[in-house]
Amino acid sequence: MKNRLRVLRAERAWSQQDLAEKLAVSRQSVNAIETGKYDPSLPLAFRIADVFQLTIEEIFERD
């Protein structure tokens, strides 16, 4: 699944660690989602959307 996570994070000048702390996950998890190696669970996708104040569809798209 493609996502805009890296771009959204960079726009806010957040490190992967900063975002990981906001989401209560590891930095490695953020990296894996950004690189497309891992698709987040639905609850995590909702947390990501909440952090960025966007809808899930505005962050994630199907390949």
Structure confidence at residue 59 (pLDDT): 97
User: Domain of 32?
Assistant: 2-55
DSSP, residue by residue, 1-58? -EE-HHHHHHHTT--HHHHHHHHTS-HHHHHHHHTTS-PPPHHHHHHHHHHHTS-HHH
Q: Is residue 9 included in any domain, yes or no?
A: yes
Query: Which CATH number characterizes residue 41's domain?
Result: 1.10.260.40
Tokens 């669970």 locate to 41
Q: Is residue 8 included in any domain, yes or no?
A: yes
Closest by alpha carbon to 34, among 15, 51, 50, 21?
A: 15
Q: Which residues pair with 2 in a beta bridge?
A: 61
Structure confidence at residue 30 (pLDDT): 98
Tens digit of each residue's pLDDT, the chain (63 residues): 899 999 999 999 999 999 999 999 999 999 999 999 999 999 999 999 999 999 999 999 987
Count structural domains, the chain.
Answer: 1
Q: Is residue 63 included in any domain, yes or no?
A: no
Q: Is residue 22 included in any domain, yes or no?
A: yes
